[in-house]
Amino acid sequence: MCRWAAYLGEAIFLEEIVTAPSHSLIVQSRDAREAKSPTNADGFGLAWYGGRPEPGLYRDILPAWSDPNLKSLCQQIRSGLFLAHVRASTGGGTSRMNCHPFISGRWSFMHNGQIHGFERIRRGLENSLSDAVYDRRSGSTDSELFFLLMIDEGLSRDPHGAATRAANRVLDASRRAGLDPALKLTAAFSDGKALHAVRYATDDHAPTLYTSAFGRGRCIVSEPFDREGGEWQTIPPSSFVTIARDGMVVRPFTPALAELALAS
């Protein structure tokens, strides 16, 4: 499991979220409160949008707290839309290719969660990718593969539908492998315009997700980075959140139900 934070709004220095708050993402890399493990030190990453349609990407394998480059970048870079992540591996070695966010074209994606039994369904899911998307696979995590499945399912046209269909491909593959489908998915992704997030699990323990206004913008995070200042709102499980310049919309996210409806 991991910790992450994302922001959309008026451009701010990344440090205002990543390093400066009392319970910043950097602090969470060492001492998270609501994560399965307090330590999230298997690498980190930033994707931010600025002067180009495609995001910048900075990832490394050190613990976030011990990288002076990260601190300097967060002090210098100002962005109106960014994603930041600290990783606790649930499988997949510690390498830059396995660090979040992942990017593809204009899209960025990061994840806290896990596909249970991934090693048993990985090959089938990889085989199911279209050629164009298969070639973008560079690491070995379940998270990157989920992102690629979403791209395959039409992420750029229909983010909500693509995430739903990707989740269903995972659940189907689990069933076909004789597994009890078990997916935890608390993810954020963006095309440089809107910021989407999803909170979902097949059981009652979907990883936490919070949002709050932040200056002239809005944050969405794994856990609050500042107990004092923020007015944090819990996003309920089975939600799909879209934050745009003009506001936030929360919709149901119910892959299994969608599938049941389809089957009936």
Closer CB to a second copy, residue 101 or residue 159? Answer: 101
Which among 30, 28, 84, 81 is positioned nearest to 59, based on CA atoms? 84
- DSSP tag of 193: S
Give CA–CA dist 4/109, Å, rounded.
11
Run of H or E residues at 29: helix 25-31
User: Among all chains, which residue has been given the structure tokens 């506001």?
Assistant: 247
Rounded to the nearest whole angstrom, what is the least distance from the CB of residue 14 to a second copy in the complex?
11
Rounded to the nearest whole angstrom, what is the least distance from the CB of residue 66 to a second copy in the complex?
4
Rounded to the nearest whole angstrom, what is the least distance from the CB of residue 183 to a second copy in the complex?
21
Q: Summarize as ranges the residues that interact with a second copy (CB under 8 A).
A: 13, 30, 38-39, 41-42, 48, 50-52, 54-63, 66-69, 72-73, 75-78, 89, 93-97, 119, 122-123, 127, 131, 134-135, 138, 140
Tell me how many degrees the CA angle 124-130-134 measures, rounded to the nearest 5. 75
Closer CB to a second copy, residue 1 or residue 167? Answer: 1
Give catalytic residues, as residue numbers.
2
SS3 83: strand
Q: What is the identity of the amino acid at 103?
A: I
Closer CB to a second copy, residue 11 or residue 213? Answer: 11
